[in-house]
Amino acid sequence: MTTATPKNYADEYRDPAHARAELARIARLAATLGATRDKPISIMEICGGHTHTIFRHGLDRLIDQGIEFVHGPGCPVCVLPQARIDECIEIASRPGVVLATFGDAMRVPGTKGSLLVAKAKGADVRIVYSPLDALALARKMPEREVVFFALGFETTMPATALTLLQAEREGIKNFSLFCNHITVPQPLRVLLQDPMMQIHGFVGPGHVSMVIGLEPYEFIAEQFRRPLVVAGFEPVDLLQSVAMVLTQLVEGRAEIENQYARVVRKAGNPQALAAIDAVFEPRASFEWRGLGEIEWSGMKIRGRYAAFDAEQKFGVGYGGTRAATAPELADCRCGEVVKGAMKPPDCPLFGTVCRPETPVGALMVSSEGSCAAYWQYAGRRVATAEASV
């Protein structure tokens, strides 16, 4: 981009006056729509990063204007089901295996504990920042089997894909991926088909959209007649996006719009899409915590790269005889929260046994999970207020 940037560019997205103007605009639009605290307009922010911005800057108080945020399934660590953690631990416990993972995944509970527990019991689990670091481990330890716990939405997929292609070029044989990549659009379709669903519009994820562009969201506008606005991460970005969603509602439009055009292109990133397509193909079905099996929502490694597919190599998960869905804990409400049908403080475990230090459900594990965000910012108020009653 060669367009000249105004000097006050940074301030433009921080400026309290600008934020106030957006807030006033939101209040006007909300009033036009007849939104009230009791009959609010519900807007789902899909991305965990946005959930954080909302709490950090107190945007959840927009409920006073009749705008309610519903926190979507946008944290890839949080929606990993227990069965996938169990399968990952099974691979990590095989002799000779080094399991490399992002730090976020260490504490996600499976039915028999987390990777952290597995490590304490002797499995060789190592935290890496990048799949490239996992590949470097494989180069360094040719006598070991290095497995990378690949997870994440479309933002992370190109990194995993390019790492696999690099391993192939180098002829590295002791490297594979336990693939848990998932896509954003498919669960949205499921949520929209749910008769309980009361979402009027969406704020779309910035970084995922940087990879996939705007086209994959079209069905939301065309088939389900809901507006979606892809948003940046500054508080003013979010406010502007909410105002854009409301404007569409007032004008009776349902379109996919881009508030984050300074980073997100309409067609996404062609190199990234090509890398994803070269290595991955959609799975017929993949399990999500709280949402169950969702058709075409996960990615698997294409047959020609089977040598790098840990599920094939070790005969676990969808590549082996997959155990039926592990039952989730009785009082855990992760499923309802992920669906947007319940707020975190309404879970009986929230703040009592389930806290960031001792997570029961996955939404409390990652700082991007909606329960953790709630606890860190808003929920603590709620929990302590209730405790003192």
Partner 1 sequence: MCLGIPVQIKSITDPDKMLALAEVKGVRREINVTLVSEPAEPLEALIGRWVLLHVGFAVSRIDEDEARITLELLAETGAVEEELAAMVPQ
Inter-residue contact 350 to 344 (CB < 8 Å): yes
Least CB distance to partner 1 at residue 9 (A): 4
In sequence order, what are the beta bridge partners of 257? 229
Q: Which is nearer to partner 1, 110 or 235 (CB)?
A: 235
363 binds, among ligand SF4, partner 1, none (CB under 5 to 8 A by kind): ligand SF4
* Amino acid of residue 249: L
Q: Is 350 in the site for ligand SF4 (CB under 6 A)?
A: yes
Rounded to the nearest whole angstrom, what is the least distance from the CB of residue 27 to ligand SF4 in the complex? 31
C-beta of 244: minimal distance to ligand SF4 in Å?
30
Chain-centre distance of CA 351, in angstroms? 22
| Ramachandran angles phi, psi of 270, nearest 5° | -60, -40
Residue 163 token pair:
């790492």
Residue 366's binding partner out of ligand SF4, partner 1, none, with CB under 5 to 8 Å set by partner kind: partner 1
Q: Does 349 engage in binding with ligand SF4 (CB under 6 A)?
A: yes
| Phi/psi at 48 (5° precision) | -60, -30
With CB cut-offs between 5 and 8 Å by kind, which of partner 1, ligand SF4, none does residue 334 bind?
A: ligand SF4
337 counts as binding ligand SF4 under rule CB under 6 A? yes
Distance between CA atoms of residues 71 and 54, nearest Å: 10
Residues 43, 59: Cα–Cα separation, whole Å: 12
Cβ partners under 8 Å of residue 286, min gap 6 = 182, 293, 294, 297, 298, 318
Determine how many CB atoms are found less than 10 A away from the CB of residue 215. Answer: 12
Q: Which residues form the interface with partner 1 (CB under 8 A)?
A: 1, 5, 9-10, 13-14, 47-49, 52, 56, 75-77, 102-104, 126-133, 136, 152-153, 155-156, 158-159, 162, 166, 207, 210-211, 233-234, 262-263, 269, 271-272, 275, 366, 368
Task: Report the C-alpha gap between 383 and 28 in whole angstroms.
Answer: 33
Helix (H) or strand (E) holding 186: helix 185-193
Task: Find residue 145's DSSP bridge partners.
Answer: 97
Please enumerate in sequence order all residues whose Cβ is within 8 A of that of 120, keeping only pairs 6 or more positions apart, or say none. none
Q: Is 364 in the site for ligand SF4 (CB under 6 A)?
A: yes
CB of 101 to ligand SF4, least distance (A): 20
Apex CA 330: angle with CA 326 and CA 333, to 5°? 95
Please provide the distance, in angstroms rounded to a whole number, between the alpha carbons at the two ends of the chain. 56
How far is Cα 40 from Cα 35, in angstroms, rounded to an integer? Answer: 5
**3-class secondary structure, 358:** strand
In the list 291, 316, 334, 383, the residue contacting ligand SF4 (rule: CB under 6 A) is: 334
Q: Report the residue closest to ligand SF4, judged by CB.
A: 361
- Distance in Å, CB of 56 to partner 1, minimum: 7
Q: Select the span of 17-25, 127-135, 182-190, 342-350 touching ligand SF4 (CB under 6 A).
A: 342-350
- Kindly report each contact of residues 214-217 with a partner whose C-beta sits within 8 Å and lies 24 or more positions away, as own/partner: 214/256, 214/258, 214/264, 214/266, 214/268, 215/266, 215/267, 215/268, 216/184, 216/185, 217/185, 217/188, 217/256
Binding-site partner at residue 81 among partner 1, ligand SF4, none, CB < 5 to 8 Å by type:
none
Q: Is 361 in the site for ligand SF4 (CB under 6 A)?
A: yes
* Residue 363 in contact with ligand SF4, rule: CB under 6 A: yes
Nearer to partner 1, 152 or 340 (CB): 152
One of 59, 146, 179, 332 touching ligand SF4 (CB under 6 A): 332
**Of residues 50 and 71, the one with the C-beta less far from ligand SF4:** 71
Strand partners, 41: 67
Q: Per CB under 6 A, which region of 68-76, 172-180, 309-317, 332-340 contacts ligand SF4?
A: 332-340
What DSSP character marks residue 42? E
Q: Is 344 in the site for ligand SF4 (CB under 6 A)?
A: yes
**Which lies closer to partner 1 via its Cβ, residue 235 or residue 345?**
235
Interacting residue ranges for ligand SF4, rule: CB under 6 A: 332-334, 337, 344, 347, 349-350, 354, 360-361, 363-364, 371
